[in-house]
Amino acid sequence: MLPDAQALAGLAGLLADRTRAAFCLALLDGRAWTAGELARVAGVAAPTASEHINRLHAGGLVTERRQGRHRYVELAGPAVARLVEDLLAATAPAEPPRTLRGVNAAAALARGRTCYDHLAGRLGVAVTDALASRKLLDPTGGLSLTPAGREWLTIELGVAPERLRGSRPLTRECLDWTERRPHLAGLAGALIAETFLRRGWIARVGSGRAVRVTRPGAVALCDLLGVDLPLS
């Protein structure tokens, strides 16, 4: 077997397990989770969770660190998050949830969520569309930040100019798996999400990836981008 084929089969095998897939989906919120938290979200025992985390770590999909008695796990970077999100976008739509809790959770994710370190769902797509309509993003051949967009980030959002010079791409198009349309990823997408969270314009819903627009956020998004989203 070709070495590349063997490596690809190994990677596919890591994500083919439902427990490991559930871990990766949980970690798409961009935060570090304890092994116990991952065990609970996947509904498995702690020893089973540790075994699966070890396999994901050996395969290069997660990193881990220990702090006291806790073992913290996070995705191994934006490239891994993009892989998981792209695979999710390529899957057939899941069966609709049958419980009220499941319906509410799915609706919250569809309204707005973090996709590792940037915004997704209707919120992420709405922000991306607004940036493009104001010529802050150029959607031609993918998403790129215009000079006016750089100015907006540094002046309107107060991002330090040196933070726009990172090792990762400044902008990237990410296919939204609920909206089936692109939203903004890359360094610019991460800085926007970080600023929105820090200023309290959006807030996390529970312990997962879902986020909601706050009342101050609704005012700010309308003033800055003309985005009119319902409070949730």
CATH of the domain at 53: 1.10.10.10
In which domain, by residue range, is 50 found? 3-76
Tell me the whole-structure pTM to 2 decimals. Answer: 0.80
pLDDT band at residue 60 under the 50/70/90 scheme: very high
Higher pLDDT, 102 or 197: 197
Decide if 231 is inside a domain.
no
Per-residue pLDDT at 113: 93
pLDDT band at residue 232 under the 50/70/90 scheme: low
Please check whether residues 131 and 221 belong to one and the same domain.
yes
Of 45, 76, 107, the position where a domain reaches its end is: 76
Handedness of CA 6, 74, 205, 164 (dihedral sign): negative
In angstroms, what CA-CA distances link 156 with 198, 217, 224, 225? 15, 14, 8, 11
| Tens digits of residue pLDDT in 191-204 | 999 999 999 999 99
Please check whether residues 99 and 194 belong to one and the same domain.
yes
Please check whether residues 168 and 65 belong to one and the same domain.
no
Domain count, the chain: 2
Helix 18-27 vs helix 46-58: angle between axes, to the nearest 10 degrees? 80
Please check whether residues 100 and 124 belong to one and the same domain.
yes
Decide if 230 is inside a domain.
no
Decide if 232 is inside a domain.
no
Please check whether residues 45 and 144 belong to one and the same domain.
no
pLDDT reading at 230 higher than 80: no
